[in-house]
Chains A and B, each alone.
Chain A
Amino acid sequence: MIDFAASADALSLLSSSLTPWLIVIPGIIIGLIFGATPGLQISMAMAIFLPMTLYMDFMQAMLFLTAIFTGGSFGSGIPAILMNIPGTSSAIATAFDGYPMARKGLHNQALGIALVSSVFGVLIGYLILFMLIQPISLMVLKLGPSEMFMVILWGMTLIASLRGEHVLKGLIAGLVGLLIGTIGFNEIGLARGTLGSFYLFDGIPVIPAMMGMFAASELFRLANKQYIVENDASRKVDLRKIATGFKTAFASPLVMLRGCLIGVFVGAVPGVGSSVSNILSYVETKRRDPDPDSFGKGNPKGIVASESANSTSEAGSMATLLALGIPGGGATAVMLAAFAMHNITGGPQFIRAQTDIVYAIIFANFAQVFFLMILGILLIPLLANIIKVPMRYLIPSVLVLAVFGSFGLTGNFVGPFTVLAFAIIGWLMRRYGYSVPAAVIGILLGAMAEKTLLHSYQISGGDISYVLERPVTLLILALLLISLFGKQAMTLIKALLQRKTSPRTVD
């Protein structure tokens, strides 16, 4: 599984010159800034700086781009925790407990937990990638559209359980989101729900919709507050408390490891990746926790689960990119462009012929983890100062950033208009107890769910028995059912067993 000769070559390649390393620190800082700025995306940062890689050799270009990726994976969690704005879709679940922690004045700890979970996630992810890159690539090849649809369905249905007291409303929100996600042209060239506007032909822009629903709608609700954290004493930025967060993260090693495993394997599924993995990891952690009701109210395990999964997804998506030449998402799509710019094609042939380069990229990421840790510790106090800003300054500033960022994403006014429309929808949904995260996940996965279901239909010719021939589909379906009804089934079985074993009493 591990080619030791290639490993030695990779190490000598990395240690032969300091030049490739010079661009790692700027890369991580760029990733942190873009990830932490609402509206700017990691993929946007990579695309903007892609032309610079023309002046680098392939190895250096990869180090630079993966450094941006690594920095961004933690950076996107910062606004999720401090402002309830997930920097990217991969940090959605980070906001669930990170933001409530910040509002309780536990922002230092929350940021510390996020940093350690991210660092640990990247480390474990690349370690798994180093050991299993070939088996993972083979496994991904076996995944067809029916398996991908099941993964999407798994992520979607689990969302309903996020708000236990309003399951029906959670399901309605998620399914309506799913319908909104299918607006526009579908795979067979039919346009639905566009109202004749060509701006909607490509569908609803997901990230601006997410910004509106998560950020703007929440900011409306905070309009009468003076600060994010009302208590004056709790607004301090304290390195010692950040360090406490490190300890808190390691206090849940199983949550972290589970997040890493979910992250690397779900992250390897093209198109699904970190957007689903952080949710899956969060929901699984909540489901298995003895106190599931504490989630969504500031449980540190929620941040550990989400951040460890989304950071590990980087390694998962790199596995697909390196082994198959398929990008798992926006960021790896930019990397694929860098491959092309250097006349390199990813795939099994690339792994066999250039194993030393592949290993060098993996080893370089181990080193990047330490840079991220140091830079994260240095930059957190600076970034955490955001909670000291009075709300009357913070609200318009963040709304403006969301508007500019959404314009940047779409290149026209569809972005800002989408932010506005979904801000109002999000505010109404929050007001009447509908799950905003469920709706966002639905919008995010709608088009993908329809595409994968359609492909499954085309392959099977509409014959449902096709599913029975797909063991992985059945396995994911079983996992889905266990996740949804496992607890209830166990309770029922226990009750039945107890009834059988206990002696019958006669009145």
Chain B
Amino acid sequence: MNISQKDLGHLGMLLGLAGFTLWYLSDAISVSTSVPNLLLILPVATAVLILCLAEFLTSLWRRELFAAVDDEPVREILPIILLFSAYVLTLPWLGFDLGTVLFVAIFLRMKRENNWWMVIGYSLIFGLTVALFFAFMLPYPMPMTFLPID
């Protein structure tokens, strides 16, 4: 990643935080402009926007927008984030038992676990044990495909 891409990432993060703040402030104002409603939100949101501007200007001045960016292996991290997102978002349909077994198995294969017995064995034992444990401990039903719900 070259310097300009890092700068863009940083700027995007700063814009994201300022954007959220602006949206939240406008949403709160649209609900009510009364003092009790905006007592904390208005000063805090104003402070965030001023600080975002100050951070942008000082970074420009010091020419170190990208100074705090870690050199992480993004290509290795993004697939993990995508897999985790898929796991969480499909849980209501796949159920906690099947979803967890699949997630663990795919993760192990992605991280180059070549022993298929370990992939299948660990994902099955871990996934089903955790699903059973929580299903037993929690007072509400958990969606499952194979295991009993109650």
Q: How many residues of A contact B (CB 8 A)?
A: 60
Query: Is A371 part of the contact surface with B, judged by Cβ < 8 Å?
Result: no
A458 to B36: give the CA distance in the assembly, Å: 9
A396-B40 contact given A407-B134, A424-B81, CB 8 Å threshold: no
Q: How many residues of B contact A (CB 8 A)?
A: 64
Which A residue sits closest to B135, measured CB to CB? A404
Nearest-neighbour CB distance to chain B for A325, whole angstroms, equals 26
A175 to B103: give the CA distance in the assembly, Å: 35
A175 near B84 (CB under 8 angstroms)? no
B48 near A399 (CB under 8 angstroms)? no
A13 to B142: give the CA distance in the assembly, Å: 44
A392 near B130 (CB under 8 angstroms)? no
A432 near B9 (CB under 8 angstroms)? yes
A291-346 residues with Cβ-Cβ distance < 8 A to B are none
A434 near B32 (CB under 8 angstroms)? no
Render A397-420 as a binary contact track against B, CB cut-off 8 A, 1 for contact.
Answer: 101110110011001010011011
Query: Is B108 part of the contact surface with A, judged by Cβ < 8 Å?
Result: yes
Query: Is B149 part of the contact surface with A, judged by Cβ < 8 Å?
Result: no
A401 near B130 (CB under 8 angstroms)? yes
A178-B44 contact given A400-B103, A431-B70, CB 8 Å threshold: yes
B18-47 residues with Cβ-Cβ distance < 8 A to A are 20-21, 24, 27-28, 31-32, 34-37, 39-41, 44-45, 47
B28 near A192 (CB under 8 angstroms)? yes
B95-125 residues with Cβ-Cβ distance < 8 A to A are 96, 100, 103-104, 107-108, 111-113, 122
Query: Most chain-B CB neighbours within 10 Å: which of A172, A187, A449?
Result: A172
A396 near B104 (CB under 8 angstroms)? yes
B51 near A223 (CB under 8 angstroms)? no
What secondary structure prevails in chain A residues at the interface with B? helix
B84 near A190 (CB under 8 angstroms)? no
Render A147-169 as a binary contact track against B, CB cut-off 8 A, 1 for contact.
Answer: 00000000000000000001011
What secondary structure prevails in chain B residues at the interface with A? helix
Which B residue sits closest to A391, measured CB to CB? B111
B55 near A168 (CB under 8 angstroms)? yes
B36 near A392 (CB under 8 angstroms)? no
Partner of B142, one of A172, A176, A224, A407: A407
A175 near B80 (CB under 8 angstroms)? no
Which A residue sits closest to B96, measured CB to CB? A404
Which A residue sits closest to B110, measured CB to CB? A392
A223 partner residues in chain B, CB cutoff 8 A: 73, 76-77, 80, 111
A175-B76 contact given A403-B91, A434-B13, CB 8 Å threshold: no
A357-405 residues with Cβ-Cβ distance < 8 A to B are 391-393, 395-397, 399-401, 403-404
Partner of B68, one of A169, A178, A392, A401: A169
A430 to B81: give the CA distance in the assembly, Å: 15
A395 near B81 (CB under 8 angstroms)? no
A404 near B31 (CB under 8 angstroms)? no
Render B1-27 as a binary contact track against A, CB cut-off 8 A, 1 for contact.
Answer: 000000001100100110011001001
Partner of B80, one of A192, A395, A403, A408: A395
Q: What 10 A-B pairs come out closest when comparing CB atoms? A: A433-B68, A392-B111, A396-B107, A450-B40, A420-B88, A432-B13, A192-B28, A168-B55, A396-B104, A404-B134
Show 10 A/B contacts (Cβ-Cβ < 8 Å), sorted by A: A166-B68, A172-B55, A176-B48, A186-B37, A193-B27, A220-B80, A399-B84, A417-B88, A420-B84, A420-B89
Interface residues of B (CB under 8 A from A): 9-10, 13, 16-17, 20-21, 24, 27-28, 31-32, 34-37, 39-41, 44-45, 47-48, 51-52, 54-55, 58, 67-70, 72-73, 76-77, 80-81, 84-85, 87-89, 91-92, 96, 100, 103-104, 107-108, 111-113, 122, 126-127, 130-131, 134, 137-138, 140, 142
13 further A-B contacts with Cβ under 8 Å, apart from A432-B10, A432-B13, are A169-B55, A175-B48, A179-B45, A182-B40, A216-B84, A223-B76, A391-B111, A392-B108, A399-B84, A413-B91, A416-B88, A424-B85, A450-B41
